Structure 1
Amino acid sequence: MLRIKKTCLILFAAIFAASCGKEKATKAEKHHSDDPLACIFPCEANLPKLSKAELQRKRNKVEHFAKKLWRDYDNYAFLVAQNGQIIYEDYNGFANKYKDEKIGAETPIHIASVSKSLTAAAILQLVNRGEITLDQKVNTLLKTFPYDDITIRMLLNHRSGLKNYAYFCDRPEIWNRKDTVTNADILRLFGEKNIPRESRADTRFAYCNTNYAMLALIIEKVTGVKYGEAMDRMIFKPLGMKNTFVFDIHKDKARVSLTYKGNMPLAFDHLDAVYGDKNIYSTPRDLMKFDLATYDPDFLDKALFDQVFKGYSYESKGEKNYGLGLRMIEWKTGQKFYFHNGWWHGNTSSYVTLRKEKVTIIALSNKYTKKTYMVRKLAPSFGDYPFKKDKADEMLE
């Protein structure tokens, strides 16, 4: 493993360039990157542009859907694109009512658990470079991690059996809620408080934010910089995601968009410093850039890329599953639908990536609503996605 110190960036660059080999050096050279941490670059898949007629036809359909979905609702950011070409986007409401700051195309909103897809991408880039392996034991990197049978892959696909930190950090005998919890605190509490697991490792799926809080610590261990800086240098800056950043509770509270439930702004709490599972602020346009980059042949080695988009949990029958940083629906027809939703305080988010059609659908809101999740109902407009009609669809008729 490459061990990096902040004071040794020049040495790191030389060593890292050698470790990546000629192929990686050629890629970085092609994209003119001077930062050895840069992992993901703008897509060079040469995706075809939609004709004006096709663009207008699809825009009309999406706009019709959007006007019904968001009617009588005033806080959202919404975008649909195909092949990196924006078909439709709409922004409405306030980032901060007190300051009269409205939501626009460049307004960062807390993307909640959609952050997991970006954290996973950073981990996978480190795997792609040979810095770590998917089946490497977590305690070979985080030395005080007390569970010796949990691997990086199990953190990514939620099969670790770990307990959600939000639950045990709410217990007064474990944590004083007047103090802010950090990722390092969660790791420390495992050993100090003898936190039991929900299940044995790799025996069942259980969605758990703790998994991605640990993955953020792994990113810090391998890169030698804080998670926010690592994400900025590995992904955000190379892709031109200029309005995307990791929230720092000590620096950013006054500048970020507020979060609302009804008309009431919600306060930060003791869990708002934990990152990796959440705490990325972004925009639909920036998330489109990330999604588009995943179509570049250089994004990941193909064998590794294929492991991202496969299900790992089949203990019980059903269509829902989880890959490496992505949720999925697997229909009996063989069709697969990939997405990730998020919720934190009043923020809700949805990231949909239709792989066959190369369609990106992004919906963000800083005022609590489940409408955000309903954008998946747009998928049948682009391909064979057999969503069943339910009561929630009545509002779209």
Structure 2
Amino acid sequence: MRFLQFTPYIFILLLASCQKDKNTAETTDTDQNAKDTVLHITPLDVKLNKLTANWKNAKANSVKQFYNKTWPKDDLSGGFLVAKNGQILFETYGGYANRKNKTEIDANTPIHLASVSKVLTAAVVLKLIDLEKLDIDAKVNSILPEFPYEDISIKMLLNHRSGLPNYAYFGDDRAIWDRSMMKNQDILDLLALHKFGLYFKPDKKFGYCNTNYAILALVIEKVTKMNYRDAMKKIIFDPLGMKNTYVFDYYKDKETASQSYKGNNVLYDYDFLDNIYGDKNIYSTPRDMLKFDLATYSKKFLNPKLVKQVFQGYSYEHKGERNYGLGIRMHEWKTGEKLFYHNGWWHGNTSSYVTLKGDTVAMIALSNKFSYKPYKIWKLSTLFGKYPIKQDKEDGAE
């Protein structure tokens, strides 16, 4: 396919421009320490205005105070980063990727993103839609003929309105699956064979389900004629310079990947669901996730009309401030403020990615030791805008 042959050059063009953010905290001052250098998108920069030293220092101190309060005993086992306009205000790393080998976690250590992986899977699906290789309203069975549910569309997978059953539940039934290492294709085959009942009629309501994104990974493979791992690398990771990001392969990476630990530091063993991708199994770093976040500010990264669809809610059956877009969660307050995020939890890995689009702020917390602490990073939003967040409220994992 011509698209596949010239994909790297297409992405160079797509990242060519970005609107500069305007606010009183910015300046054209060129003085900046080397360690604070704006992270670049390869091969082009997403250019956002630099921040004044005084503003940066004030915010950095506030972020550091929050971090020290959240991780008071320096028990972070992962990475923590907060950035504005691509400039890192505060970051820190700690703990072990492998406690047995005493391999320390640093800025280049990939950690399991858990469900934050969905953000990146959705990005590739959206790129294919943007390049007219895929229709967002296409029925899934028009791409995967064995898919047994006629009324479910690509959009319904993206926004979790399909009603599909969770593969982790039917896969755990020994009458259905023998608990050997499961693949994405096995999920599709089981759906086709058993035609499990849907949890609800397609597009009737929201129902968060990992099966949606496991199927989207198969859609990516069918459209690109590449393995999901290769497609993610070629379409997102390489063009954005995400050099420490990859899709886990159980048979190749289980000995070298960052390990997963319970809260008491006991190792989590792999299980039969650990080779399924799309909904999870992307390993990355806070800095690489910042590169991805920066790319989203280029108006040519995705068609603006498509971007608008990404960052809007689709489930208003029940009143409340929480909603889900296309691969991203959100808070929508009556005051007009919006906050976009995705959290993750798989085994002992917990993660949070928060992006404040109106304030060009990214906040990322990754942990390979079970902890609810990464989910608290969203509370820092009040440092950058008028977000009505109650500081004593705990945010949920998923």
TM-score (ref. length: structure 2):
0.89
Give how far 1:226 is off.
0.3
Q: Deviations over 1:133-183 (max 9, x none)?
A: 110110110110011100000000000000010011001111111x11110
Query: Does the aligned pair in 2 maintain the 1:75–1:366 contact within 8 Å?
Result: yes
**CA 1:67–1:255: 2 relative to 1, 3 Å:** same
Q: Deviations over 1:364-391 (max 9, x none)?
A: 0000000110000100011011012336
- SS of match in other structure, 2:57: helix
Q: Deviations over 1:20-75 (max 9, x none)?
A: 9xx959826969xxxxxxxx966654210111111111111111111111112231
Question: What is the aligned-residue identity percentage?
Answer: 54
* Runs of 4+ in structure 1 over 4 Å off: 11-14, 23-26, 28-31, 40-45
The amino acid that maps onto 2:386 is D
The aligned residue for residue 183 of structure 1 is 184
Counting only pairs closer than 5 Å after superposition, residues 59-70 of structure 1 correspond to structure 2 as 59-70=60-71
Counting only pairs closer than 5 Å after superposition, residues 158-237 of structure 1 correspond to structure 2 as 158-177=160-179, 179-237=180-238
Give the Cα–Cα distance (whole angstroms) in 2 for the partners of residues 29 and 356 of structure 1. 20
**Residue 274 of structure 2 is aligned to residue 244 of structure 1:** no
Q: Deviations over 1:60-104 (max 9, x none)?
A: 111111111111223131000011001000101111111110110
Give how far 1:309 is off.
0.3
Give the Cα–Cα distance (whole angstroms) in 2 for the partners of residues 25 and 344 of structure 1. 31
The aligned residue for residue 383 of structure 2 is 381
The aligned residue for residue 77 of structure 1 is 79
Query: Does the aligned pair in 1 maintain the 2:14–2:300 contact within 8 Å?
Result: no
Give the Cα–Cα distance (whole angstroms) in 1 for the partners of residues 57 and 359 of structure 2. 17
Query: Does the aligned pair in 1 maintain the 2:12–2:44 contact within 8 Å?
Result: no
The aligned residue for residue 48 of structure 1 is 49
**CA 1:117–1:199: 2 relative to 1, 3 Å:** same
The amino acid that maps onto 1:117 is V
**CA 1:88–1:183: 2 relative to 1, 3 Å:** same
The amino acid that maps onto 1:106 is N
Give how far 1:194 is off.
2.3
Give the Cα–Cα distance (whole angstroms) in 2 for the partners of residues 26 and 269 of structure 1. 39
Counting only pairs closer than 5 Å after superposition, residues 259-278 of structure 1 correspond to structure 2 as 259-261=260-262, 262-278=264-280
The aligned residue for residue 8 of structure 1 is none
**Residue 272 of structure 2 is aligned to residue 286 of structure 1:** no
The aligned residue for residue 332 of structure 1 is 334
Give the Cα–Cα distance (whole angstroms) in 2 for the partners of residues 264 and 165 of structure 1. 26
The aligned residue for residue 357 of structure 1 is 359
Q: Deviations over 1:101-124 (max 9, x none)?
A: 011000000000000000000000
Query: Does the aligned pair in 2 maintain the 1:119–1:212 contact within 8 Å?
Result: yes
Query: Does the aligned pair in 2 maintain the 1:45–1:297 contact within 8 Å?
Result: no
**CA 1:95–1:49: 2 relative to 1, 3 Å:** same
The aligned residue for residue 35 of structure 1 is none
Give how far 1:229 is off.
0.4
Of the three residues 299, 318, 336, the one matched with 2:301 is 299
Query: Does the aligned pair in 1 maintain the 2:15–2:46 contact within 8 Å?
Result: no
Q: Deviations over 1:238-291 (max 9, x none)?
A: 111110000001100001011000120000000001100000000000000000
Give the Cα–Cα distance (whole angstroms) in 2 for the partners of residues 232 and 13 of structure 1. 12
Query: Does the aligned pair in 1 maintain the 2:15–2:301 contact within 8 Å?
Result: no
Give the Cα–Cα distance (whole angstroms) in 1 for the partners of residues 115 and 353 of structure 2. 10
Counting only pairs closer than 5 Å after superposition, residues 112-127 of structure 1 correspond to structure 2 as 112-127=114-129
Identify unmatched segments of 5+ residues in structure 1. Answer: 5-10, 32-39
**CA 1:364–1:26: 2 relative to 1, 3 Å:** closer
Query: Does the aligned pair in 2 maintain the 1:42–1:293 contact within 8 Å?
Result: no
Give how far 1:196 is off.
1.3
The more displaced of 348-357 and 44-53 is 44-53
Give the Cα–Cα distance (whole angstroms) in 1 for the partners of residues 393 and 186 of structure 2. 43
**Residue 75 of structure 2 is aligned to residue 89 of structure 1:** no
Of the three residues 10, 13, 21, the one matched with 1:27 is 13
The more displaced of 295-304 and 384-393 is 384-393
**Residue 356 of structure 2 is aligned to residue 370 of structure 1:** no
- SS of match in other structure, 2:238: helix
The amino acid that maps onto 1:251 is K
Q: How many residues align?
A: 370
Give the Cα–Cα distance (whole angstroms) in 2 for the partners of residues 42 and 357 of structure 1. 25
- SS of match in other structure, 1:356: helix
The amino acid that maps onto 2:271 is D
Query: Does the aligned pair in 1 maintain the 2:14–2:301 contact within 8 Å?
Result: no
**CA 1:29–1:298: 2 relative to 1, 3 Å:** closer
Query: Does the aligned pair in 1 maintain the 2:78–2:111 contact within 8 Å?
Result: no
The aligned residue for residue 132 of structure 2 is 130
